[in-house]
Chains A and B, each alone.
Chain A
Amino acid sequence: MKLVLFSGGLEKDNQSLDRSFIELLPKKNPVVTFIPSSSYLSEQEFKAFVRHYSRFKISRFIHFPVDVPFDRIIFQEVMRSDVIHLAGGNTFYFLNSLRKAKLLLELRKYAEKGGILTGLSAGAILMTENIDMAAYPEFDRDENVVNLKNLASLNLVNFAFFPHFKNSARYDAVFRKYSRTKKKLIYACPDGAGIVVHGDEIRFVGPCYGFAGGQKFTVN
C-alpha cells in the first residue's frame, strides 16, 4: 500500500512531503485524480492543485467530484489513475458523499491493489479507521453538517491521524485525555508535516507527535 497523509498548510511548507510523494510515483507523468471534499466551487481548488503539481512535470489530471452523479466512463478512468488525491474540507460531508456514491470499498480496493492514495487534512483522516478525529478538539473541529452517525471510514492504517496540530498545552490536554480511552495510537502533525506509508514502512516527514495511554511523545 502506498499512502501519503498531508496535514495541510501552504505549498512551500509541504516541499519535503511532496518530494516523498513524487518518489513513490511508478512512472513519469502519471495520471492524478483530484477528489474534492465537495463539488461546491471545487474547480478553483482543482486549478490550484494542478498548478502546484504541474511543477513536478505532471500534466494528466482528472477532476472527480463525488457529491454529484458521475458516469461509468469517467469512474473507470479514475480507478485506472496512478494517484488519487482526497482533498481537504468538511470530513463529515466528504465521508457521507463517498459512502453515498459507494466509493469507500472501491477506494480501499484501489489502495490495496497498489494505487497511490494521498489525502490532505480531511482527506488524510478518511484513510484511518474512522473520522472521530474530525470531531476533536471541541474548539477546532468540523461541524457534522450532514448529521452523520456512521463514522467508519477507509481503515487503511492502524493509527488515528490529527492534522493542523498546534504544539500547545491546550491541544495536549485534549489528546492526552482522548488517548486514555482509545486503543488506537494518534499521530498529530502540524501543517507542512505528514506521514508516508509504503508497504509496512511508515515514514514521518516533518514534526510529528504521538498520543497513547494519556501520554504524549515526540515521533519526529
Chain B
Amino acid sequence: MNQVKKSPAETADRSYGAFSRINGQHPFKDSVPNGRVEYKARYKKGGKVSFFNFDLAKEMGLLPKNHPETLNPDLEKEILRAFSIVIINEYDLINEIKFPEDEIYPNTFMATRYLQLQHPDKSGRTSGDGRTIWNGTIRHNGMSWDVSSCGTGGTKLSPACNINKKFYQTGDPSISYGCGLSEVGEGLETLFFSEVLRKNGFRTERVLAIVEYDKGISINVRANPNLIRPSHFFGHLKQGNLETLKQVADYFIKRQCENKAWEQTTFKSDKEKYQYLAKQVAKSFAETAAKFEDEYIFCWLDWDGDNILMDGGIIDYGSIRQFGLFHAEYRYDDVQRYSTSILEQRQKARYIVQCFAQIADFLTTKKKKSLSQFRKDVNVDYFDKHFIHCKNRNLLQRIGIKKNHQDYLLKEHLQLVTKFRKVFSYFERSKSKRGIYKVADGINRDAIFCMRDILRELPQIYLTRGSELNPQEFLEVIKSSYAKKSDLRLTFLRVKQIQRFQSLYMSMVRALEKHAGVSRSQFLLELTMRSSIVNRYDRVTGDSITYIVQKVMRMRPKLTADELYLLAEEFSSYQNLDPDQKAEPSEVPERHRNIMKGFTSIVRECREGI
C-alpha cells in the first residue's frame, strides 16, 4: 500500500494537501503526557466513503470554498488515506501479529484518558477512549479543530478490557462494545441529529466523514473546535494528580484562548485563570442545562462528565434523545441502573460546576479540599442564577418574541416573565394518570400537554378573535395524543391556571406593544409568524431520527455519498426552527423530494414521542 509508505505530505494530491496535516500529531500529546495512550496505526483496507461533510470540510479549511459538493476519486483517496485507520493494539503486540511495513503510518495516534463510570476503577486510571483515536488537529481562519475517529480499534482504555482483565483483538465477535468497531447506523444517527441540533443553536460534535466497510462496520470521523470533556479533568482530580490536572487545564485554556472562544484571553495570575475557567464552565453548563430542559433534550449527564464537552456541547449521540413533549419521568434502562431523568440534568450540571470550583481551588492552592466545601461556591451560585435567566429567555424565545423584546421584558418586567414561566411549567409538567410504565428502552410517564401547539396557535386565535379562549377550548388546543379523558378534567385549579396563563401572556403582549409602539394586531401577527416556525408542528424526536436512519440504511445501496450529504443538508434546513433564518428555496431533485416526504411523515408520526 504505497500511499501510506511515503509521508502523507509527499503523496497528497496538491489540491487536497490540507488532509495531510491530520496525521496523528496533536498538541495534547506533549502538553499532557500522562493524559493519553499512543498507538501505532495501519491503513485499513476495503473502505469506501459513504458520507463526507463538504460544508464542515470547507469551514475547517480541508477544502477550498469553491470546491464542488461532489466526491471525486482523488478526494475519496485523500479521505481514506487520512481516516481509514486501525490501531495496532496490545493484543496485536502480545500476539506478535505482523503487518506489512508499508501499511503502517509513520506517526502514532492517541487515545485520551478520561473518567468513566462503567470502569471498575472509577477513578479514571484505566478509562478513556475505548474505540476512538484522535486523528489530529487542523487550524484554519483563526480556529483550531480537533478530529477524532470512532471505530478505529479496541484500546486498553475500553470497559471490556478492564472488566474482563484481558486485551481484545479489534473486531473480536465475542464482545460487542469493546471490540473497537463502530457501525454505519451510529454514524448516520449522529450525522442527522447533530446537524439538526447545530442549526438550532446547540453546541455539538459534527460528523466529518463516514468510512464504510463490509457488514455495516464503519469509522465515524467527528470534528469540533475542542473535543475536551469534563471527564478529561475528573480522572486526574479524583486521583489527586495535581500535575496532570494542571496540564489538562492549561492545555484546555490555551486552546479556548487561541480559538477566541472566551472573551478574556489573558490572565494576571493562576488564580484568575482557573477561576475564569470555572466561571466559563458555570456559564456554559447553565445555558446547556436550561436549553436541554426547554428543548426536551435527554442527555445522560452524570458525575463522570463523559457525555458532554467542556462548553456544554453534545458528544456521543448514543444516549441522546429529543422528546416531543416534556416526558419528565423517562429513564433509560441501562441494565444495571436507570439513567437520570430530564429534570435531574440540572442537578448533574450543577455538580459538574461544583467539581470545577473544586478544581480551580485545587490548582490555585495546590490542596485538594472536599467537594462538599464548594456547594455554595460563587460559581455554583452563578450557575443557579444564570440557569434561571436562561430558562426565562428560552421561554420568551419559544413564545416567538424577538431578541430585543426579550431583553426589554427581562429587564423591565422580570416578575411578569417569572410568573408566566411558573404557570407554563404547570401545564408542561402535567402528567398522565396512567402513571409510570415500561417503554422499549426504559420507563416513562406521559406528559399530557403539547406546549408547542398552544404557543403556535394562541397568537393567531387572539389575532383573529380578539378575545381569550374559554377553558374547554384551551384544553382542546393544548391536549396531546397521550391525554385521556380523565387527564383533561377541568378542576378548579386547572381553570384558574388557564386564566392565569392567558392573562399573563396578554400582559406581556401589552407591555411589548407599548414598548414597540405598534398596534396589538401588528404585534400578534409578528408573534404568529415567528411562533409558527419556532413551534412547527413537526419537530424531530429521538425515535424519528432512529426511523429515518433505518430508512436511509435501507436506501443506501442506491444512495451515493453526495446524495446523502444533500439529504442531510436538506433535512437539517427543514428542521431549522430559527424564526430569524433567511431561508432560500433550494432546487431539490424530484427523487430527493420524495425521500424528504418520507422523512417528514416519520417526523410527524413520532412528534409527541421520545
Q: Which residues of A contact B (CB under 8 A)?
A: 29, 31, 39-41, 43-44, 46-47, 50, 54, 59-63, 65, 68-69, 71-74, 77, 80-81, 143, 145
Contacts and interface: CB of A to CB of B under 8 A. Distances in A.
Nearest to A69: B537
A168 B593 CA distance: 30
Contact of A62 (B460, B519, B590, B593): B460
A145 B594 contact: yes
A63 B460 contact: yes
B574 A59 contact: no
Interface string B517-557: 00101100100110011001110000000000000000000
B537 A65 contact: yes
Question: Which of A29, A63, A65 is the most central at the interface, judged by chain B CB atoms within 10 Å of its CB?
Answer: A63
Interface residues of B, number: 32
Contacts of B525: 50, 54, 59-61
Question: Which of B519, B537, B574 is the most central at the interface, judged by chain A CB atoms within 10 Å of its CB?
Answer: B537
B217 interface: no
B457 interface: yes
Contact of A63 (B453, B522, B532): B532
B569 to A, nearest CB: 14
B583 interface: yes
Contacts of B464: 31, 60, 62, 77, 80-81
Given A43-B536, A74-B461, A63 B597 contact: no
B214 interface: no
Interface in B313-337: none
Contacts of B538: 39, 68
A interface: dominant SS: mixed
Contacts of B56: none
B529 A47 contact: yes
Contact of B529 (A41, A50, A71, A72): A50
Interface in B286-313: none
Interface of B: 453, 457, 460-461, 463-465, 469, 473, 476-477, 519, 521-522, 525, 528-529, 532-533, 536-538, 574, 583, 585, 590, 593-594, 596-597, 600, 604
Given A40-B597, A73-B476, A80-B464, 9 more contacts: A31-B464, A44-B585, A54-B525, A59-B519, A61-B528, A63-B529, A68-B537, A77-B465, A145-B594
8 contacts: A43-B529, A59-B519, A63-B460, A63-B528, A65-B537, A72-B476, A74-B457, A145-B593
Nearest to A146: B597
A41 B570 CA distance: 11
A39 B537 contact: yes
Nearest to B460: A62
Given A50-B525, A59-B525, A145-B597, A71 B537 contact: no
The 3 closest A-B pairs by CB, nearest first: A59-B521, A68-B537, A43-B533
B583 A44 contact: yes
Contacts of A61: 460, 463, 525, 528
